[in-house]
Amino acid sequence: MSQFPSALEFVMGALEQIRDRGEKLPRASRTSLVELRSVRPAQSRTERALVRQSSGGDASPSLQGTDKAALLAAIQTRVAVCTKCPHLARTRTQTVFGVGNPDAELMFIGEAPGADEDRRGEPFVGRAGQLLTKIIETIGFRRDEVYIANVLKCRPDMPPGNSGNRPPTPLEMQTCLPYLAEQIGIIQPKVLVALGATAVEGLLGTRGVMRELRGKWNSHQNTPLMITYHPSYLLRNQAPSEKRKVWEDMLQVLERLDRPITEKQRNYFR
Ligand code: URA
């Protein structure tokens, strides 16, 4: 029975591919249905939550970290073989699922893996990632205490010979978003932080000007969502005024999490 979650993931992946290709609805024989029914009573709590999760329900609020880790691992397996965007599946080195504490109270969401992340298979490990890690540590968390993911799990493809980045298209984001929704549904963080305008567009479906969007609370999947600048913006624009804005946004996050704020933190950019 311990193989049940991965077997289920395998079946779900195959069914999704059949549906995406517009092929006929798959049919199951009476014998398979009877066999499937016979394994149900023995499902563990994690497996039942996995089935609930995959049918669009929220993960049980009583899920523990290990259960959440198992659920996330099952989705990660599905993401790793995803070919919903064939052009991205062809050009990626690997998918970049997410990293951190499956039970995190704070979750950061960026736009898409860059070249470094595509190579390493982990979000935010390049220059922008190092700055994000610094921000996380300055607000009093370790990087492995929070959860970090992107709207898109594949590096957006670039023309041959071009090593730059491009933002994901609305269709790419729409296609990939269900995976992020599942991650959020399992982790159930107390606060989400959207990094930059593309992450906001993916999460809220609205395109806006960051100057107006940042520093404000929104809501996504019934979770408070703070919008702030993407760390790569801070790398491009080194003005202390911009760093201070991100810091003010992070102080709002700490307040929302009921985390103590030291005098030093409060006056960091004063
Ligand atoms: N920028 C992002 O939005 N995500 C990453 O993982 C890296 C850079």
Instruction: Tell me the CA–centroid distance for residue 59 and ligand 1, in Å.
Output: 26
Residue 124 CB–ligand 1 contact under 6 Å: yes
Q: What distances in angstroms separate CA 23 from CA 32, 48, 219, 220, 233, one per listed residue?
A: 21, 29, 37, 33, 44
In DSSP terms, which residues pair with 194 in a beta bridge?
109, 227
Q: In the predicted model, what is the mean pLDDT of the chain?
A: 86
Contact in structure between 184 and 220 (CB atoms under 8 Å): yes
Non-local CB neighbours of 105 within 8 Å, separated by 6+ positions = 146, 189, 190, 191, 257
Q: How do residues 42-100 score in pLDDT, each as one tens digit?
A: 445 555 555 555 444 555 556 887 899 999 999 999 999 999 999 999 999 999 999 99
Structure tokens at 158: 């670039």
Instruction: Tell me the CA–centroid distance for residue 111 and ligand 1, in Å.
Output: 6
Instruction: Tell me the CA–centroid distance for residue 60 and ligand 1, in Å.
Output: 30
Nearest 10 degrees: Cα torsion 168, 174, 179, 180: 70
Residue 182 CB–ligand 1 contact under 6 Å: no
Residue 117 CB–ligand 1 contact under 6 Å: yes
Q: How do residues 212-244 score in pLDDT, each as one tens digit?
A: 999 999 999 999 999 999 999 999 999 999 999
Instruction: Tell me the CA–centroid distance for residue 33 and ligand 1, in Å.
Output: 43
Q: Would you state the pLDDT for residue 270?
A: 72
Locus of tokens 């991650």: 183
Rounded distance between C-alpha atoms, residue 11 and residue 193, angstroms: 33
Residue 110 CB–ligand 1 contact under 6 Å: yes
Cα–Cα nearest to 247, from 106, 188, 264, 124 = 264
